[in-house]
Amino acid sequence: MAKGQVLGLIAAAGGVALGWAAPVMAKAAPHPVPKILRDCADGCPAMAVIPAGAFLMGADAGEDGRPEGPVRKVTIRPFAMATLEVTNAQYARFIAETGHVTGTNCRSFVRATGKVEEVPGADFRHPGTGAGEGAANIPVVCVSWRDATAYVAWLAKKTGKPYRLPSEAEWEYAARAGTQGDFPWAGGGAAACTYANVLDADGMADGALAVFGGTGGLAAAVACHDGFAGAAPVGSYPANAFGLHDMVGNVWEWTQDCYYAPYRPETPTDGRPMPAPAAGCDRRAVRGGSWISAQFRNRVSWRGRDPEDQTTWIFGFRVARDVTPAEARSARR
């Protein structure tokens, strides 16, 4: 799909500048065309069957208080993941069919103050600067982890299929798609504009970014053009080897896991999520970076952490589901 025209002006710079440069990484091993499942005709997502495998999860890296390790071997069973992030159109159908009351007062960039703050009445229909203002094919944002889990519960009931959010391990395995570097393509972060919607020269053209991001935001940008100053329509960039678009950049994606860092010894190594304690989960893990995230935070091992009820103009999600043995066998070997 062509990248198209810029849809909105960038509002803020995520992350911090760490003087880091991504190493050049090897190309992923070739994979056959993925098996695509679609469980209904009226708004159900296209689901790529992700093959079983093992990988090294995490990295010996991170920011202060946000370690990405320790690195550990994780084995993944076959599952399915949406090829695209959930869109405004798909989420609006869910709202229309269920009457779900979605979050308001979304945290968004306010140009007048140059800050990110709660905006009265802001929701997925009017999320804030650069977020697409409810356009049908833009990834939905201003949805909390609780909103996302309500969506997958509705989709499971609608289709009779076991939809859910992906675990952190499933997300990272799917994003890597057979690679084992910081970015799932050759050339590292410097090549990001070919493959993802990230903080780039297009976004930096908006002077408001310098007001919000300061020198840290400026240094964090990639010196290339990805074609969008704000959120991009889903699928605007090439799919990875597993058939998934936008795993890096565009919007952050909620996962099922309760966030702990560093990874605890009891963290599952079979692809299951880290369960929440009986007293409840303080924060849930988010992955993938966004169109305003610093290059370091767009790496596939980087881990965000946010409260279940938080809504922001750069947080969305994609769905996963279990597959039957027959569906797994029908996928590539």
DSSP 156: H
Task: Kindly state whether residue 65 falls inside one of the protein's structural domains.
Answer: yes
> Whole domain around residue 164: which residue ranges?
36-330
Q: How many domains does the chain have?
A: 1
Task: Kindly state whether residue 53 falls inside one of the protein's structural domains.
Answer: yes
Task: Kindly state whether residue 27 falls inside one of the protein's structural domains.
Answer: no
Task: Kindly state whether residue 11 falls inside one of the protein's structural domains.
Answer: no
User: Distance from first CA to last CA of the chain, Å, rounded?
Assistant: 27
Span 152-171, average pLDDT = 98
Task: Kindly state whether residue 10 falls inside one of the protein's structural domains.
Answer: no
Task: Kindly state whether residue 2 falls inside one of the protein's structural domains.
Answer: no
What local confidence, expressed as pLDDT, does residue 312 receive?
94
**Percent of the chain scoring above 70 in pLDDT:** 85
In three-state form (DSSP H/G/I as H, E/B as E, the rest C), the secondary structure along 301-312 is CCCEEECCCCCE
Span 79-96, average pLDDT = 97
Here the tokens at position 111 are 């140009």
Mean pLDDT over each residue of the chain, to the nearest integer: 86
Q: Alpha carbon of 207 to those of 154, 217, 223, 281: distances in Å?
A: 41, 12, 16, 38
Question: Confidence class of residue 207 from pLDDT cuts 50, 70 and 90?
Answer: low
* CATH number of domain containing 285: 3.90.1580.10
What local confidence, expressed as pLDDT, does residue 329 receive?
86
Q: Is the pLDDT of residue 16 over 60?
A: no
Task: Kindly state whether residue 263 falls inside one of the protein's structural domains.
Answer: yes
pTM for the predicted model, two decimal places: 0.88
Task: Kindly state whether residue 304 falls inside one of the protein's structural domains.
Answer: yes
